[in-house]
Structure 1
Amino acid sequence: MNDRRTAIKLTFREVDATTWPDFERLFAARGGPKSCWCMLWRATADEARRRDGASRRAAMAARVRAGMPVGLLGYHDGEPVAWCSIAPRASYRRLVSDGSPDDGVWSIACFFVVRPLRGSGVTRQLLAAALRLARRHGARVVEAYPVDADSPSYRFMGFVPLFEAAGFRETGREGTRRHVMRRELRAPMR
């Protein structure tokens, strides 16, 4: 068991064909999100009709094989222990209803951290790594949809104070629970 006061240092890798086995291992492990495979916000109308874990896994695998950005993994001692869904907003179904253009906007739609590491600062590290990844891919804005700590749902999207501490500002609400928060990114240094 982890002492929550001890900072856990992670390394990060984008999910692609080479890291897909690690992604599968994290999601399929005991306590992992093997029923959703992070397809809730990505599923097309046809994919949404197939709600079983195997179909969702296949849909995510197809995106990874096609080279679509889907997110990144956090590793501790060489083992995948955390996930952040970060990708171009256009690759998700509609996350916001404000009609704002998707061009250059990346969205953070989910976090997952293995239970023993929760509360140890892992999500903060994931968020920082996600911002770096989006910047490397040319994103100009990263958008997120966190909830308040007492929210009974959408908790996998993160909590408002995490994003405030990382320089995001609220730009609106989506539904009754999700805050829409954005952070402008500077171009990567060359």
Structure 2
Amino acid sequence: MCAHDGPQTGHAADAIPGLGRARGSFVLRVPDEFPVPLAVPLSEPLWAPDDIMARMAVQVLSAVGRYDAFVEVVGVKKPGGQGCWCMAYRDSRVPNDERPQFMRDECAHEPGPGVLAYVDDDVAGWCSVAPRSSYRRLMRSRTIPFVDERDAWSVVCFVVRPPFRGRGLMHDLLDGAVAHAVASGAEVVEGYPVDVGTGDRVDLISGYVGTRGLFEAAGFTRAAATTGHSGGRPRVLMRRELAP
């Protein structure tokens, strides 16, 4: 078990005041600019809505030091089974039997491969977020363009465990991903969600990259068109500039 494999006490508001979104009966606003420390200690969550008002304790934490929790969400449960291990964008050339160790190594050092959501101390979800330069598929992509020469941070996928779906955790994961990018010194963060209309149903095959509405709710704006698709649905490049 990793030393930091599990949620810690504290609130993200102590580290990144104001970061949040509307949820249920309370609102935490996302200001245009927010004060950011040089780093967020691993002992504090990157993002956590108020426990009482949200009626469930949600925390989003860096995956650094939490490989076992990552495996619980993303890992292959069947012995000998094959799976993505969140390698499709990083480097799909890595053999399946080497992927667990690859991700163990990624979880062992900063900035790590992404963030994990916990609900009432149970690991519930995963979001892959890291510099675009660390994703081989994005660097070689012919369908998702580069907006400028900066090494933007990229949000490429979401996974929520079945018992925790339908609770809006993708919003919490995206908020935490932005906070993690900020704490790691990112200038800009971007995602490549499916561009669907309000109220349209999105299946897991299409929706693992998120939706345009999800990113808009987190302060992202459309930066470019793409020729990419997810589950047959068109994707759009969404960006959010981060305060220096």
Q: Same fold (TM over 0.5)?
A: yes
Pairing 1:123–2:170 present: yes
Contact 2:87–2:99 (Cα < 8 Å) also in 1: yes
Deviation at 1:151, TM superposition (A): 6.2
- CA distance in 1 between counterparts of 2:171 and 2:108 reads 28
The answer to whether structure 1 residue 57 and structure 2 residue 114 are counterparts is: no
Q: Match for residue 76 of structure 1?
A: 119
Question: Is the contact between residue 160 and residue 170 of structure 2 (CA under 8 Å) also seen in structure 1?
Answer: yes
Aligned pair count?
Answer: 174
Is the 1:8–1:121 Cα contact (8 Å) retained in structure 2?
no
Partner secondary structure for residue 37 of structure 1: coil
Task: Give unpaired runs (5+ residues) of structure 1.
Answer: none
Please give the secondary structure, in 2, of the residue aligned with 1:157. coil
| Residues 20-29 or 119-128, more deviating | 20-29
Runs of 4+ more than 6 Å apart: none
Aligned partner of 2:148 in structure 1 is 100
| TM-score (normalizing by structure 2) | 0.63
Residues 21-50 of structure 1, C-alpha deviations (whole Å, 9 max, x = no match): 11112223769xx71111110006x42xx2
Whether 1:25 aligns to 2:72 is yes
Match of 1:86 in 2: 129
5+ residue gaps, structure 2: 1-23, 25-53, 139-143
CA RMSD of aligned residues (A): 2.5
Counterpart amino acid of residue 179 in structure 1: V
Which range moved further: 109-118 or 55-64?
55-64
Does the 8 Å CA contact 2:125/2:161 hold for their aligned counterparts? yes
CA contact (8 A) 2:111 2:184 kept: no
3-state SS of paired residue (2:136): coil
Partner of 1:10: 58
**Identity among equivalent pairs (%):** 34
User: Are the aligned partners of 2:147 and 2:224 in contact in 1 as well (CA < 8 Å)?
Assistant: no
The amino acid across from 1:134 in the alignment is A
1:13 and 1:98, CA in 2 relative to 1: closer, same or farther beyond 3 A? Answer: closer
Q: Tell which structure's C-alpha radius of gyration is larger.
A: 2
Q: For the Cα contact (< 8 Å) 2:130–2:154, is it kept in 1? A: yes
| Separation in 2, partners of 1:120, 1:19 | 23
Q: Secondary structure at the residue paired with 1:164?
A: helix
Q: Distance in 2 between matches of 1:76 and 1:30?
A: 21
